[in-house]
């Protein structure tokens, strides 16, 4: 809470620079390696800069090299199970679009097999497109700045979203001004706060965290400011509050939007005066503390409705850092998945479970599973992904391989109220039961499954190809093959007018729309998102 006269000017300069940086940052198409038999390679990327001058990019086991961000060492995919015949990635007809040519083998995009010359619009690439070359190789096609990564201990990932957080953090951490961290639940706001502390001049002093939502009018004063001996019945000794315990260090106020009204007044007074008065003590004390606050709500809305004091908001928000949700940084999903899996396996004493030879016939991670995770909106963000990794680690130890089971697929299929990505979804708690892979019936021949039986299975299972395939004992890819063979339309075949009409009829309920249109709910959601109709 130390005041420096030059800080307003420095802060204004930082905020102006951040806005300018966001405006001028250019991006290029990029492929991030999301699944590979050698899990150490997951997270490598290849910038497709030739496309900017309309030169094709060849992709095969020997063409196009991938490297970890910031590394000068690169290498091709080099998977012996992948074709040597290259897939041609070329600039599309519209600005920023991309076309795929030379499909010598089956290639799926977001779970749907594609045809020769498939064109991806610019907005789809910006959102991220899951490109599955085989059951072993999954790539994410997206836009990236290609900037060299900035290292900040404790902040994982190499996406542009997290890189922006690191840059803003390194700018503001040395200034010793209040910082407000804003982001959805589970994005890692406390990790960012700890990083601000670690990069500041107070790094060697205490970092104290308090959840403001847990404080009440009756307990807040003693908790924040302490109490004297005998201040109340049971106060047998002097107690230091959070402010004093964080002396010369950083006090992290988590969930600050939920601070009770009376506690807001106490907090504002301390921030304005730099002094605390313990309960039952006649003297106040000066405190030297840097305050970092976090919220998953909108404090401006709270100020408007009167639930949050405007003066307190301005005191806390000396500089704001916005942490993007995981669904806005999909290229970090596989990177974080492998990191968390490694942590869990190490804790369980089985770190080697993820270490398989690149030529292994059955790698530890199935491509279909990783592809599914890349299309899941992760309402619980990084915290939810860590819980998923905890479950997968236990299954990996048991079976040596983790695939997309019907149980996991069901957990990764939220039931949103509308067509957009949901804000709530079934959580994956650490204590949740881990289901062993469901034994499928022997693969039945495709020729004995008629169109009526196929449609009946899809209708019974909510038009989900994954669930229908599991019930029929066939592969999901077989379902897609049969749909194409029978000429049954998919979500991507629907025009905008039909989608809008269905949304109006079904009250924007995604699953009702899918049943009415007789298409996959997941494919429908992706189609709506890409066309910006959801």
For the chain, the distance separating the N- and C-terminal CA atoms, rounded to the nearest angstrom, is 45
Buried b (16+ CB within 10 A) or exposed e, 196-215: bbbbbebeebebbbbebeeb
Tokens of residue 353, six digits:
């479970």
* Nearest residue to 106 via CA among 130, 121, 87, 80: 87
Taking the domains of the chain in order of start, what are their residue ranges? 26-144, 160-322, 328-439
Which pair of structure tokens corresponds to residue 130? 């899951």
Cα separation, 425 vs 379, in Å, equals 6
Structure tokens at 324: 């993007």
For the domain 26-144, what is the CATH code? Answer: 2.60.200.20
Distance CA 347, CA 356 (A): 19
Q: Answer for the pair 386, 340: CB distance below 8 angstroms, yes or no.
A: yes
Q: What is the pLDDT of residue 357?
A: 61
Give the separation between CA 41 and CA 79, rounded to whole angstroms: 12
- CA 321, CA 11: separation in Å to the nearest integer? 13
Same fold, 26-144 and 160-322: no
d(CA 308, CA 261) in angstroms, rounded, equals 7
Cβ neighbours of 533 (radius 10 Å) = 13
| Fold topology of 160-322 | Rossmann fold (3.40.50)
Q: How far apart are CA 349 and CA 343, in angstroms?
A: 10
Predicted TM-score (pTM) of this structure: 0.73
For the chain, which residues score pLDDT lower than 50? 2-6, 9, 13, 17, 20-24, 416-447
The confidence score (pLDDT) of residue 417 equals 44
Q: Pinpoint the alpha helices (H) of 359-446.
A: 367-375, 381-399, 406-411
pLDDT tens digits for range 30-67 = 999 999 999 999 999 999 999 999 999 999 999 999 99
User: Please, what's the b/e burial string for 309-332 (b: 16 or more CB within 10 A of its CB; e: otherwise)?
Assistant: beebbebbbbbebebbbbbbbbbb
pLDDT digits (tens, 9 = 90+) for 53-103: 999 999 999 999 999 998 989 999 999 888 888 999 999 999 999 999 998
Query: What's the full length of the chain, in residues?
Result: 534
pLDDT at 41: 94
């Amino acid at each position: 809470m130390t005041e420096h006269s030059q800080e307003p000017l420095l802060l204004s300069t930082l905020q102006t620079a951040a806005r300018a940086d966001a405006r001028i940052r250019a991006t290029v198409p990029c492929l991030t390696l999301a699944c590979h038999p050698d899990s150490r390679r997951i997270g490598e990327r290849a910038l497709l800069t030739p496309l900017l001058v309309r030169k094709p990019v060849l992709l095969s086991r020997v063409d196009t090299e991938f490297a970890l961000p910031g590394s000068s060492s690169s290498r091709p995919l080099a998977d012996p199970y992948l074709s040597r015949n290259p897939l041609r990635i070329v600039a599309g007809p519209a600005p920023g679009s991309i076309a795929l040519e030379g499909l010598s083998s089956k290639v799926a995009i977001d779970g749907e097999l594609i045809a020769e010359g498939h064109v991806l619009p610019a907005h789809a690439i910006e959102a991220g497109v899951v490109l599955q070359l085989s059951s072993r190789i999954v790539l994410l096609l997206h836009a990236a700045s290609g900037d060299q990564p900035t290292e900040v201990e404790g902040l994982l990932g190499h996406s542009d979203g997290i890189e922006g957080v690191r840059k803003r953090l390194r700018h503001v951490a040395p200034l010793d001004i209040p910082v407000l961290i804003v982001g959805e639940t589970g994005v890692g706001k406390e990790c960012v706060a700890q990083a601000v502390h670690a990069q500041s001049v107070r790094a060697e002093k205490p970092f104290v965290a308090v959840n403001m939502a847990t404080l009440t009018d009756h307990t807040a004063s003693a908790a924040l400011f302490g109490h004297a001996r005998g201040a109340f019945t049971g106060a047998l000794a002097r107690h230091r509050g959070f402010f004093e315990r964080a002396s010369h260090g950083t006090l992290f106020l988590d969930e600050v939007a939920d601070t009770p009204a009376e506690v807001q007044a106490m907090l504002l007074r301390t921030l304005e005066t730099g002094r605390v008065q313990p309960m039952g003590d006649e003297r106040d004390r000066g405190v030297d503390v840097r305050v970092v606050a976090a919220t998953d709500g909108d404090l401006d809305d709270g100020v408007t409705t009167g639930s949050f004091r405007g003066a307190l908001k301005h005191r806390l928000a000396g500089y704001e850092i916005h942490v993007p949700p995981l669904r806005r940084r999909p290229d970090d999903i596989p990177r974080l998945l492998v990191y968390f899996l490694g942590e869990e396996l190490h804790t369980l004493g089985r770190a080697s479970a993820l270490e398989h030879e690149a030529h292994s016939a059955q790698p530890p991670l199935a491509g279909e599973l990783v592809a599914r995770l890349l299309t899941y909106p992760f309402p619980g963000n990084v915290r939810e992904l860590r819980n998923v990794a905890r479950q997968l680690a236990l299954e990996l130890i048991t079976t040596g391989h983790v695939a997309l089971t019907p149980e996991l697929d069901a957990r990764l299929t939220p039931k949103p109220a509308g067509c957009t990505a949901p804000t709530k979804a079934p959580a994956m708690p650490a204590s949740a039961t881990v289901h062993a892979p469901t034994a499928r019936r022997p693969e039945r021949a495709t020729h004995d499954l008629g169109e009526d039986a196929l449609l009946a299975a899809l209708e019974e299972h909510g038009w989900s190809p994954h669930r229908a395939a599991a019930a029929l004992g066939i592969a999901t890819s077989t379902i897609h093959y049969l749909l194409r063979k029978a000429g049954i339309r998919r979500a991507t075949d629907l025009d905008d007018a039909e989608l809008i009409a269905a949304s109006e009829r079904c009250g924007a309920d995604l699953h009702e729309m899918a049943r009415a249109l007789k298409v996959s709910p997941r494919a429908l959601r992706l189609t709506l998102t890409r066309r910006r109709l959801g």
